[in-house]
Amino acid sequence: MNYKKLCFQVQDIAREAGSFIREEGKKITSSDIEIKSVASLVTYVDKTAETNIIDALKKTIPNSGFIAEEGTATHNNEKFKWIIDPLDGTTNFIHGITPHSVSIALMEDDEIVLGVVYEVGLNEMFYAWKNSLAFLNDDEIKVATANKSEDTLIATGFPYYDFNKIENYIDVLRFLMRNTRGLRRMGSAAVDLAYVAAGRFDAFYEHALHSWDVAAGVFIVQQAGGKVVDFNGGNNWLFGGEIIAVSENYFDEFYNIVNKHLGEK
């Protein structure tokens, strides 16, 4: 498998999907919005973009499986599985704000081997493939170098359907508000992770996420020199619904902050 060649093919597919999303954003109206829950929305743009992405990816690796947010394709123990969020940040998109992104990852057996996150509004392509560095457009990116909270900028997302840990979540927010340079809630987990990879954020944490939210971004973070764990320091971040992504320099301190309030007791 030529992962580099495949990665550039996937970038073209993501860029084409992004162009579709960008153009449809000029036309979308309230009647196009479907409500999954109060804070979980979907439009024909999400669904059409996903179908287009899957149709294109099927040509790159025939007989591959798909794990996709809108459920337009399935998987069943295939060697290669694509993990896709066709429009991460739908609420931002509907309201005409950035970021919103296309996120595509490839798993070979149980290993992610390729990740692409395309931020549509700023036309920024984050990507990496197995054994590569991480890149933004044509430039190499690396995680940040800060090693103490007072020098960091932290990203997170707010729960929108699972509120079981909301009090603990607020405890973490309270600590970080007082002890860091600030918190940001961008509205696209894929972009948050890409920004950690690029050193724009020092760390990101969130719970109640899905595999398609994080798969590509996590891989890019790892290739950029970052570390990714769940709230208990394990590797159950892809399907376990909780994630910490952080630079190696800041890992110990940040992990302890999150684990203290959100880890299993």
Cα(195)–Cα(257) distance, rounded to whole angstroms?
21
Quick check: 219 and 237 in contact, CB under 8 A? no
Q: What share of the chain is helix, strand, coil (3-state, %, to 5)?
A: 35, 30, 35
- Find the farthest-apart pair of alpha carbons in the chain and give their distance in angstroms, rounded: 51
**Could you report the per-residue pLDDT of 101-157, keeping only the tens digit for each?**
999 999 999 999 999 999 999 999 999 999 999 999 999 999 999 999 999 999 999
- For the chain, list residues with pLDDT below 70: 37-39, 73, 265
Strands 80-88 and 65-68: parallel
What pLDDT score was predicted for residue 127? 99
What pLDDT score was predicted for residue 37? 64
What pLDDT score was predicted for residue 244? 98
What's the predicted TM-score (pTM) here?
0.95
| CATH placement of domain 3-141 | 3.30.540.10
Q: What are the residue ranges spanned by the domains of the chain?
A: 3-141, 149-262
Class for domain 149-262, per CATH? alpha beta
Hey, what's the torsion of the CAs at 118, 56, 35, 90, to 10 degrees? Answer: 10
